Amino acid sequence: MSQSFGLPTGNALVVGASQGIGLEFVRQLLANPQVDRIYATYRRDAAALASLATAHRDRLQLFQVDVTVEAQIQTAIGQIQATTPQLDFVINCVGLLHDGELQPEKSLRQIDTDQLLQYFQVNSISAILLAKHLLPLLNHDRPSLFATISAKVGSIGDNQIGGWYGYRASKAALNMLLKTAAIEYKRRAPKATIVLLHPGTTDTQLSQPFQKNVPPEKLFPVERTVKQLLAIIADRTVADSGSFWSWNGESLPW
């Protein structure tokens, strides 16, 4: 049986590190002395991330990347490749649920092509572009792991209550794209594991407008979410590549 991944060591990349779960991944990776270098991306103002980079100049390097622009992904990964031939751990925390006028649809009446395209661009297509450009950095003789945060509402099998068409469908598409990439990676980067993670409802700006009916014990602070996700990641083996896990250790239906 292959060995489980364990806690991250070596070089890590956090995509979408400006706030929320991604920013907390950076904090917890910095607190782990087994992690040598952390590369982190942000799109908009990221004051908290910038001050971490100032305090940890030797270990944390930042890149500005809008993940809807493939050239920006390619440039940042090229700059990482110029400093290291390999990444051991990548966590992709990018996600979009609401942004100004863009709000999750409650009804078919609210279906809008541009809004759907925006959900797919940010939540689905960006992740497969990362898988495309990261393969050389993840393909080496040590085990590597590429995790992307999906969402349980993206599970087609688990969809009981409907609504949120674009967010749900874009997370379902994300799952299919990365499941498919995991099959190709098995051939082209055999020591790399690709997984999708459900973080549980977490207190970030993404969930903020929808927290009203969430019982307090089910609304996790980011510190708890990231600890739980690191534990799920630690238990994975390469045989788990192309699978979807909840924060509580359950394997989720597609």
Ligand X SMILES: NC(=O)c1ccc[n+]([C@@H]2O[C@H](COP(=O)([O-])OP(=O)(O)OC[C@H]3O[C@@H](n4cnc5c(N)ncnc54)[C@H](OP(=O)(O)O)[C@@H]3O)[C@@H](O)[C@H]2O)c1
Contact residues: ligand X, CB under 6 A:
16, 18-22, 42-44, 65-68, 93-96, 122, 149, 151, 199, 201-202, 204-207
Considering beta carbons, is residue 96 or 192 the nearer one to ligand X? Answer: 96
CB of 75 to ligand X, least distance (A): 14
Q: Which is nearer to ligand X, 87 or 174 (CB)?
A: 174
C-alpha 184: how far from its chain's center?
Answer: 19
Strand partners, 219: none
Least distance between ligand X and beta carbon 202 (Å): 4
Instruction: Tell the smallest beta-carbon distance from residue 152 to ligand X (Å).
Output: 7
| DSSP reduced 3-state for 154 | helix
Give the neighbor-by-neighbor strand order of the sheet with 243-246.
Answer: 60-64, 35-42, 10-15, 89-92, 144-149, 192-198, 243-246
Q: What b-and-e string marks burial along 119-144, b requiring 16 or more CB atoms within 10 Å of the CB?
A: bbbbbbbbbbbbbebbbebbbbeebb
CB-nearer residue toward ligand X: 42 or 164: 42
Min dist CB 166 to ligand X, Å, is: 12
Write phi, then psi, for 79 (nearest 5 degrees). Answer: -70, -35
Residue placing its CB nearer to ligand X in the complex, 11 or 18 = 18
> Least separation, in Å, of the C-beta of 31 and ligand X?
18
CA 90 vs CA 40, 104, 105, 205, 209: distances in Å = 10, 28, 31, 22, 29
CB of 211 to ligand X, least distance (A): 8
Strands (E), 93-236: 144-149, 192-198
Cβ proximity to ligand X: between 122 and 192 the closer is: 122
Nearer to ligand X, 185 or 220 (CB): 220
